[in-house]
Amino acid sequence: MILDKIDSLKSKYADYRLNKINKLEMSLNKAPGAVSASSNSPEKKMPDKLKITLKTLPKQLSIAKNIEKTIKSLDENPENPKMHMDSEFKDEFEKYASSLGINKIGYVDVPSDIIFQDRSILFKKTIVLTMEMDENAVNMAPSPQTQEDGILTYDELGKKTNLLAQYLRKNGFSSHPSHPAGGLVVYTKLAKKAGLGNIGRHGLLITPELGPRQRISAIFISAENLPDTSSDAHLWISEFCVSCGKCIKKCPNQAIVEKNTPQGLKTKIITDLCHGCTICMKECSFNRLGYQKIENNFHS
């Protein structure tokens, strides 16, 4: 009885926070000069139910607070922001990001068709950030430790993304941070476009440094002269994935489905079937064998 009441309170609280985030994010649609989604953009799926435990609650509260901060902090953007970033400051920014635990940085313009429907971003120029998920925790999947580390990395990267946005503001730029949990754009497609890696059949980003083991976030920024790190270097991964298919076989819920299309074999994650167990990340050949080994064999 008491446990039922606690569950009902937790779920009411989660609904309240999710609604608040939804409203805050949608308020940007009226911002002057905001870049909106296109008619082909995907729908943003807010989770129906958040799994909250006593152990994960503090991190989940911190995640909610930091998602709200991504929008509330926009008031602190300078009135006349800088539009040009010199290479000296770019190096400083990258060093600072690395000292905060950011693994990789990419730069790219966001295409409107990866902005979620009913969402807008303040600038097209984007800094893409990744952060490592703990190797041991991922390799323990499925386990509470894996779930906890997944939440912890979302929280850490969210906090660091807000810190970096603040750093950019202090140095004269307008910045719009996007939290790794949810966010305003399809992160895997953004990171692929920024040349950081490619998307595996499990729907996760695969990079040379970390295989599938990372979270992604972004900062949209007023600087218009940032480089474009787009690259075709990781396209071969799609070909390798066709011959592998391990994640599809290992998914305990058959949530990864494949179908033949005129453009070739495509996979889709059935979100209602996926319970976030992380087995597909653990079992991915790029996690088990490492990127370099697979690339060397593939090209030999």
Closest CA to 121 of 130, 132, 106, 108: 108
CA–CA gap between residue 157 and residue 161 (Å, rounded)? 6
Which of the ranges 32-40, 132-140, 160-168, 270-278 carries the binding residues for ligand SF4, by CB under 6 A? 270-278
- Which of residues 152 and 247 has its CB atom nearest to ligand SF4 in the complex? 247
User: Considering the complex, what minimum distance in angstroms separates the CB of residue 279 from ligand SF4?
Assistant: 4
Asked if residue 140 binds ligand SF4 (CB under 6 A), the reply is no
- Which of residues 214 and 278 has its CB atom nearest to ligand SF4 in the complex? 278
CA–CA gap between residue 223 and residue 78 (Å, rounded)? 13
Asked if residue 137 binds ligand SF4 (CB under 6 A), the reply is no
Q: H/E/C letters for each residue in 51-92?
A: CCCCCCHHHHHHHHHHHHHHHHHHHHCCCCCCCCCCHHHHHH
Task: Answer whether 122's CB lies under 8 Å from 174's CB.
Answer: yes
User: Considering the complex, what minimum distance in angstroms separates the CB of residue 158 from ligand SF4?
Assistant: 20
283: CB partners within 8 A, 6+ apart: 246, 247, 250
265: helix, strand or coil:
strand
CA–CA gap between residue 194 and residue 190 (Å, rounded)? 6
Amino acid at 66: N
* Beta-strand pair 205-206/214-221: unpaired
155: CB partners within 8 A, 6+ apart: 59, 62, 63, 66
Task: Candidates 115, 183, 280, 291: give the one binding ligand SF4 (CB under 6 A).
Answer: 280
- Which of residues 15 and 134 has its CB atom nearest to ligand SF4 in the complex? 134
CA–CA gap between residue 104 and residue 101 (Å, rounded)? 9
- Which of residues 101 and 252 has its CB atom nearest to ligand SF4 in the complex? 252
Angle formed by the axes of helices 87-99 and 144-170, to 10°? Answer: 150
Asked if residue 133 binds ligand SF4 (CB under 6 A), the reply is no
User: Considering the complex, what minimum distance in angstroms separates the CB of residue 281 from ligand SF4?
Assistant: 7
Which of the ranges 88-96, 145-153, 171-179, 273-281 carries the binding residues for ligand SF4, by CB under 6 A? 273-281
For the segment 193-252, give every residue that binds ligand SF4 (CB under 6 A).
200-202, 241, 244-247, 251
Number of residues that bind ligand SF4 (CB under 6 A): 23
CA–CA gap between residue 223 and residue 51 (Å, rounded)? 39
* Mask for 249-268, x = binds ligand SF4 (CB under 6 A): --x-x-xx------------
Task: Candidates 35, 176, 279, 291: give the one binding ligand SF4 (CB under 6 A).
Answer: 279
Task: Candidates 56, 147, 207, 278: give the one binding ligand SF4 (CB under 6 A).
Answer: 278
Asked if residue 284 binds ligand SF4 (CB under 6 A), the reply is yes
Any idea how long the chain is? 300
Task: Candidates 93, 123, 286, 291: give the one binding ligand SF4 (CB under 6 A).
Answer: 286
* Mask for 163-182, x = binds ligand SF4 (CB under 6 A): --------------------
- Helix and strand numbers (H, E) in the chain are 11, 10
The residue to which tokens 């807000």 are assigned: 162
Asked if residue 269 binds ligand SF4 (CB under 6 A), the reply is yes
Task: Return residues touching ligand SF4 (CB under 6 A).
Answer: 200-202, 241, 244-247, 251, 253, 255-256, 269, 274-280, 284-286
